């Protein structure tokens, strides 16, 4: 199976988890990653700048109508939902919060399923609510690959646990093992 995109959701405890994940991604990695990290509405672009400093891929905040490119990590800007259009471009909205969040993981994941169907990988890491569980269920139903961080090692286990209440994820892994799996997929 040739996967074309990865959607990744994270909340509380995310900076540490993302650091572990992205420092273990090889420079040969090709698949674009679209990331929602729950953050305060007034946050700046610190996350993008930080991840760019530790990651071998291009890392940037997503821009409206931007074409999705390989070897790039797109981060939802603070206070904007990130969505993927059918033509594989990005869209930003200030629609109502979903799961008390903007950006919302579910909003990204659900739009990604519409654009990529079974060629999508969904990943949920540490976090304090159930945002992303509904989107992971849709990814699974479409035939995509579903991966969660092992709740036992997540700083805050609520988000990965919420996924397991809806579906049986394809993989429940430690952060380093998630990176190893992703690296093996892109070979």
Q: Transcribe 4-24 into DSSP letters.
A: -EEEEEE-TTHHHHHHHHHHT
> Any idea where the domains of the chain sit in the sequence?
5-185
Which SS3 state, helix, strand or coil, does residue 76 take? coil
| Helix 14-23, helix 46-54: angle, nearest 10 | 30
| pLDDT at position 160 | 98
Q: Given pLDDT bands bounded at 50, 70 and 90, which one contains residue 1?
A: low
Catalytic amino acids? 11, 38, 131
pLDDT digits (tens, 9 = 90+) for 10-61: 999 999 999 999 999 998 999 999 999 998 877 888 999 999 999 999 999 9
Q: Given pLDDT bands bounded at 50, 70 and 90, which one contains residue 73?
A: very high
Residue in 129, 100, 95, 89 with CA at minimum distance from that of residue 9: 129
Q: Transcribe 46-70 into DSSP letters.
A: HHHHHHHHH-SSEEEE--TTPBP-T
pLDDT digits (tens, 9 = 90+) for 170-185: 999 999 999 999 999 9
Class of domain 5-185: alpha beta
Q: How many CB atoms lie within 10 A of CB 13?
A: 18
């Amino acid at each position: 199976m040739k996967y074309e995109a990865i959607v990744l959701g994270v909340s509380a405890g995310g900076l540490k988890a993302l650091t572990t994940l992205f420092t273990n991604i090889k420079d040969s990695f090709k698949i674009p990653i679209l990331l929602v990290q729950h953050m305060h509405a007034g946050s700046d672009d610190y996350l993008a700048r930080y991840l760019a400093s530790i990651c071998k891929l291009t890392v940037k905040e997503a821009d409206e109508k931007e074409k999705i490119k390989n070897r790039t990590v797109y981060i939802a800007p603070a206070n904007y939902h990130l969505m993927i259009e059918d033509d594989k471009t990005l869209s930003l909205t200030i629609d109502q919060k979903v799961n008390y969040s903007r950006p919302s993981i579910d909003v990204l994941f659900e739009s990604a399923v519409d654009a990529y169907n079974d060629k999508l990988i969904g990943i949920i890491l540490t976090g304090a609510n159930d945002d992303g569980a509904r989107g992971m269920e849709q990814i699974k139903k479409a035939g995509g690959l579903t991966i969660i961080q092992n709740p036992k090692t997540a700083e805050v286990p609520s988000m990965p646990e919420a996924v397991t209440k809806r579906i049986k994820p394809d993989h429940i892994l430690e952060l380093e093992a998630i990176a190893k799996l992703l690296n093996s997929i892109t070979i």
